[in-house]
Amino acid sequence: MELQTNLRRIILAELLVPLALFIFGAYHGVLQTMYLSGVIRATSVAGIDYYQGLTAHGVINAIVLTTFFAVALGYTVVSQELKSRVSIAGAALSLALMLLGAVMAAAMIFLGKASVLYTFYPPLMAHPLFYVGLVLFIVGSWVPLWTWIPVYLRWRKENRGWKTPMGVVGILATFTVWQMATLPVAVEVLVQLLPWSLGWTHGINVMLSRTLFWFFGHPLVYFWLLPTYVMYYTMLPKLAGGKLFSDFAGRFTFMALILLSCPLGLHHQFADPGISTTSKGIQGVLTLLVAIPSLLTAFTLAASLEYAARQRGGKGLFGWWSKLPYFNPENWLFPYLFCGLLIFLFGGITGIVNASYSMNNVVHNTAWIPAHFHLTVGGPIFLGILGGSLFIVTGLLKKPVVSGTMAMIVPYLWMGGTFIFSSGLFMGGLRGEPRRTNLGLTYMNPASPSYRSDWWVPAHMGLVGGCIMGFAVLLYFIVLIRSLAAASDAAASKAPFSLPTSEPYHDEDVPAVRNFTPWVVAAVLLCAAAYYVPIRDIAKNGITTAPGFRPDSPAAVNTTH
Amino acid sequence: MSINVFEKRAFLVAVASVAVSLALIAYATWGMGINVPTCIPLGSKPFEQASVTKHEGKNYEVHYVARMWAFEPSVLRVPTGSTLDIYAVTKDVTHGFLIAGTNVNLMLVPGAVANSRVHFEKPGIYTIVCHEYCGRNHQNMNARIEVSDQIADYSVEGLPASEGMKLLDAKGCLACHSVDGSAGVGPTFKGAWGTPVTLTDGSTRTLDSALFLQKVLHPDTITVKDYPPVMPVLPLTDDEISKIEAYLEGL
């Protein structure tokens, strides 16, 4: 079945608009590696301040690009797999709110009114419209789930006894996590930040706002990851020429992530005052439990790839590795997912380091952290978005990919770049190099008393890696633009577009992973249990409220009128 | 329904890996005594002044104050083998406090006190890095701890408040004004900053920078009620006045 015409248009906008914004995100990413290594020793380049550009890099790449892609993939999967029409009004409303919000936030950033980074930690204070933009964007991203639920329930009624398609389970899990995770940050923005930035309130409880932010901030990473998991479980085995090794593993993973995504944000606050070690420890344990579905995913995907390789004639204990379609321009999407998976091995392992409680003392807020997340959100997730967007955009427009070879090279280049970039930042982080700091002016400036010669090698590895990553993005945009400019493919125009869908190899029926309700209820209860004590402690300790500060002055903002 | 043996093994290996990690973390926490910062219950509000207090042996209690964009004290010198109990607060936005090459890694959040302990076994210069974005000059915000075999006791730089105390002593202010609340020829400084004072002309004013400056530069123009008009003119520089103010503010 072909997707509804208007839905196709909406999906195209959801994919192409953020990609256009991402051109700046990527440009400034490369620029940051130059600032950090001291190649650029300035506060700004071309009128954009380092911290302003860094805010844009974070907001565009980590919030706007990822969320739009999740919504676009969600509409494609739900519509295709349930063979159902979805609400166009809902989809249009969601797109409008998200676009408006993204434009407002981006405008405030580019006007220099919101250089507060994407974590917007108060008491740094941005322009109220920045916060309004974020709220509109988030509310817009809530709409799709509520329009999919009736479609899903109708499908269940009409297809009693049938398993819900894996992709739909994954997408509903993605947006369930998003709905739970974004409520606290919406409260933070609407109750704390917005009135305070408008001057209606004069102080803010900073520990409370940090805690509400990280209640959202960590599940956010699973929200990034889940659409990629959908592609891994439903598309990768098929693209490799095989089947999904374990249907149970996929369904269990999605349900487990609903349960465990939220009650563990405190592991971002291990270094914070005002929260007891007991509360931190409990969420530390919960954090490590999330590794179970991720490890299971790694094993299952490896087994699926092995199965595919053996179908292609692969032999021996390790010999089968050579039989996968690594360099096939016709199957250019495979390396996007495969390279992402390889990168994620290291992203996952270093994530376990971050989560390992007292180990956080060594790495917290150092360059180690961006090194880690460029192997997660900047690795499998980003490659999934690039590959998925190119596949869906060209598929919906019935256009050929020009050229498949060039498209195929992008993920390998990107992987090489991220490995060099992240190795440098890991090394720097262990030597105390801070993240999100314009190092070139001081720490990477031999003329400064703060100069750190031992950060030179790490920072320059970041530079080399960053430039390779930038080059990969450039190639990608050449492919995308050439493909968009190409004439429609006459042969492809006849067949309806669809995403590749893998069949299961082992297809047991485990009722426990076939019903969302108990997992959602358990998740809500677990969140309440994990957060009751720390939030009570923060309230009880009578922590004084803080006035606002602009990033360019140590004098508090006078919000009295 | 039976689950395939490899699916079962994958699940068990995933669970076992996590169990091993958790066991290692438990060992690091309780066996090796490495923990994350905890909650310091606050009596009323965080301290506002940086200070160094020497305890028995080579143990020091250091109170750091962070602000945009500096740490107080900026330089601390201690003998090799010293143990520092660090307490740190911020006066404005959230700052980071990382001592490179150690396990001290703290967030300084408005309204709360962060705490950690560090033992310096090896001599060297340890950089304290602000690792949380705190505004335009974030990259300038650092301090250092110099650990040396050559010194027997601590010394410190960049403590405006304690320099203020030294100035009060050196300029003779303490002859008439106490800092502990005890009575003297003039009113005590203890708890006076920011509170209202009644003057001999019956008016009430708040002890702030303006009033302080007027009294120091032109002592004969105002006198606090119930005290004699005997304060001399003191030759203080702007820098000295601001250091004294910094000290009085936190008193």
- In 3-state terms, chain B is what percent helix, strand and coil (to 5)? 25, 25, 45
Whether B114 shows a pLDDT value over 50: the answer reads: yes
In this prediction, residue A274 carries a pLDDT of 84
Cα separation, A406 vs A110, in Å, equals 33
A386-402: burial string, b at 16+ Cβ within 10 Å, e else: bbbbbbbbbbbbbbbbb
One pLDDT digit (tens) per residue for chain A, 561 residues: 788 889 999 999 999 999 999 999 999 999 999 999 999 999 999 999 999 999 999 999 999 999 999 999 999 999 999 999 999 999 999 999 999 999 999 999 999 999 999 898 899 999 999 999 999 999 999 999 999 999 999 999 999 989 999 999 999 999 999 999 999 999 999 999 999 999 998 888 899 999 999 999 999 999 999 999 999 999 999 999 999 999 999 999 999 999 999 999 999 999 998 888 999 999 999 999 999 999 999 999 999 999 999 999 989 898 999 999 999 999 999 999 999 999 999 999 999 999 999 899 999 999 999 999 999 999 999 999 999 999 999 999 999 999 899 999 999 999 999 999 999 999 999 999 999 999 999 999 999 999 999 999 999 999 999 999 999 999 999 999 999 999 887 766 678 889 999 999 999 888 888 899 999 999 999 999 999 999 988 877 656 788 899 998 888 886 554
Confidence bin at B42 (pLDDT 50/70/90): low
* Nearest residue on chain B to A279, alpha-carbon basis: B38
- Answer yes or no: A267 catalytic: no
Q: Is B109 on the interface with A (CB under 8 A)?
A: yes
Handedness of CA A249, A255, A259, A264 (dihedral sign): positive
Per-residue confidence (pLDDT) for residue A151, from 0 to 100: 96
Distance from CA of A73 to the nearest CA of B (A): 28
* Chain B stretch 53-82, residues whose beta carbon is closer than 8 A to a beta carbon of chain A: 67-69
Antiparallel, parallel or unpaired: β B196-198 and B204-206: antiparallel
Are B110 and A546 contacting, i.e. CB atoms less than 8 angstroms apart?
Answer: yes
Asked if residue A101 lies in contact with residue A72, where contact means CB atoms within 8 angstroms, the answer is no
pLDDT beyond 90 at B16: yes
A296 reaches B (C-beta below 8 A): yes
pLDDT of residue A561: 41
Residue A159 near chain B (CB below 8 Å): no
Known catalytic membership, residue A374: yes
Instruction: Collect all residues of chain B within an 8 Å Cβ-Cβ radius of residue A348.
Output: none
- Taking only residues 135 to 164 of chain B, the set having a beta carbon closer than 8 angstroms to any beta carbon of chain A reads 135-136, 138-140, 142
Distance in angstroms between the alpha carbons of the first and the last residue of chain A: 60
Report yes or no: B111 at the A interface, CB cutoff 8 Å: yes
- Counting Cα atoms < 13 Å in the Cβ hemisphere of A168 gives 21
Closest CA to A143 of A216, A190, A87, A101: A87
**Conformational region of residue B174, where left means phi above 0, alpha means psi within -120 to 50, and beta covers everything else:** alpha
Q: Is A179 exposed, middle or buried (0-12, 13-18, 19+ CB in 10 A)?
A: middle
pLDDT at residue B194, as a whole number: 82
Q: What is the Cα–Cα distance from B70 to B127, expressed in whole angstroms? A: 13
- Closest Cβ opposite residue A551 in set B14, B38, B135: B135
- Tell me which residue in B35, B99, B115 faces A358 most closely, judged by beta carbons: B35
Determine, for residues B28 and A357 on separate chains, whether the beta-carbon distance falls below 8 Å.
Answer: yes
Which residues 236-255 of A have a C-beta within 8 angstroms of B? 245-246, 248-249
pLDDT at B43 over 70: no
Q: What is the 3-state secondary structure (H, E, C) of A404-447?
A: HHHHHHHHHHHHHHHHHHHHHHHHHHHCCCECCCCHHHCCCCCC
- Condensed to tens digits (0 to 9), the pLDDT of residues B151-166 reads 999 998 888 766 777 7
Q: Could you read off the pLDDT of B74-86 as tens digits, one per residue?
A: 999 999 999 999 9
Q: Which helix (H) or strand (E) holds A92?
A: helix A88-110
At residue A483, what is the residue type? S
Name A273's Cβ contacts closer than 8 Å, sequence gap at least 6: A207, B37, B39, B40, B106, B107, B108, B109, B112, B113, B114, B115
Provide, as residue numbers in chain B, all residues whose Cβ is less than 8 Å from the Cβ of A358: 25, 28-29, 34-36, 103
Closest-CA residue in chain B for A288?
B18
What is the rounded CA–CA span in Å between residue A137 and residue A300? 35
Q: A222 an active-site residue?
A: yes
Question: How far away is chain B from the Cα of A54, in angstroms, using its nearest Cα?
Answer: 11
SS3 readout for A500-512:
CCCCEEECCCCHH
- Tell if the CB–CB gap between B135 and A549 is shorter than 8 Å: yes
Question: Searching chain B, which residue's CA lies closest to the CA of residue A448?
Answer: B140
Each residue's pLDDT tens digit, A205-219: 899 999 999 999 999
Residue showing tokens 């992008």:
A410
pTM (two decimals): 0.88
Report residue B150 as tokens.
């050559």
Please tell me which of the candidates A43, A248, A271 has its beta carbon nearest to residue B107.
Answer: A271
B94 interfacial to chain A (CB closer than 8 Å): yes
The mean pLDDT of B8-37, rounded to a whole number, is 92
CB contact under 8 A, A356 and B24: yes
Spatial contact of A110 and A56, defined as CB atoms under 8 Å apart: yes
Query: What part of A 180-209 touches B (C-beta under 8 Å)?
Result: 205-207
Closest CA in chain B for residue A302: B10
Nearest to A476 by CA among A344, A346, A373, A335: A335
Cα three-residue angle A91-A109-A41, rounded to 5 degrees: 135
Instruction: Output helix, strand, coil percentages for chain A, rounded to the nearest 5.
Output: 70, 5, 25
Q: Of A41, A436, A506, A550, which one is the catalytic site residue?
A: A436
CB A259 within 8 A of CB A310: no
Contact B37 A270 (CB under 8 A): yes
Q: Given the structure tokens 């692969």, which residue do they identify?
A: A314
Number of Cβ within a 10 Å radius of residue A2: 13
Q: Which of A69, A222, A270, A344 is catalytic?
A: A222
* Catalytic hit among A435, A443, A460, A516: A435
Report yes or no: A122 and A548 within 8 Å, Cβ to Cβ: yes
Looking at residue B178, its pLDDT comes to 81
Q: Do A272 and B138 touch (CB under 8 A)?
A: no
Q: Which residue of B has its CA nearest to A49?
A: B136
């590895």: which residue's tokens?
A461
Bridge partners, B146 (sequence order): B77, B125
Question: Closest to B7 (Cβ–Cβ): which among A124, A248, A545?
Answer: A248
* Whether the Cβ atoms of residue A425 and residue A370 lie closer than 8 Å to each other: yes
Interchain CB distance below 8 Å, B38 and A291: no
Q: What pLDDT, on the 0 to 100 scale, is given for residue B236?
A: 84
Average pLDDT over residues B173-185: 81
Facing B113 at nearest CB: one of A271, A273, A288 = A273
Taking alpha carbons only, the member of A364, A254, A350, A354 closest to residue A300 is: A254
Q: Determine whether A28 is an active site residue.
A: no
B132 interaction partners in chain A (CB closer than 8 Å): 121, 365, 436
Secondary structure in 3-state letters for A70-86: HHHHHHHHHHHHCCCCC
Question: Any chain A CB within 8 A of the CB of B194?
Answer: no
Q: What distance in Å separates residue A488's CA from the closest CA in chain B?
A: 44
Touching check for B105 and chain A: CB below 8 Å? Answer: yes
**What is the nearest CA distance from A280 to chain B, expressed in angstroms?**
8
A283–chain B Cβ distance below 8 A for any pair: no
Active site residue A436: yes
Closest CA to A458 of A370, A540, A344, A361: A370
How far from each other are the two terminal CA atoms of chain B, in whole angstroms? Answer: 74
> Rounded CA gap, A76 and A85, in Å?
11
Whether A511 and chain B come into contact, CB under 8 Å, resolves to no
CA distance to A277, B117, B122, per residue, from A270 (Å): 8, 16, 27
Burial of B227 (0-12, 13-18, 19+ CB in 10 A): middle
Six token digits for residue A285: 């344990």
Q: Which residues of B touch A207 (CB under 8 A)?
A: 109, 111-112
Whether the link from the prior residue into A123 is cis, omega within 30° of 0, is yes
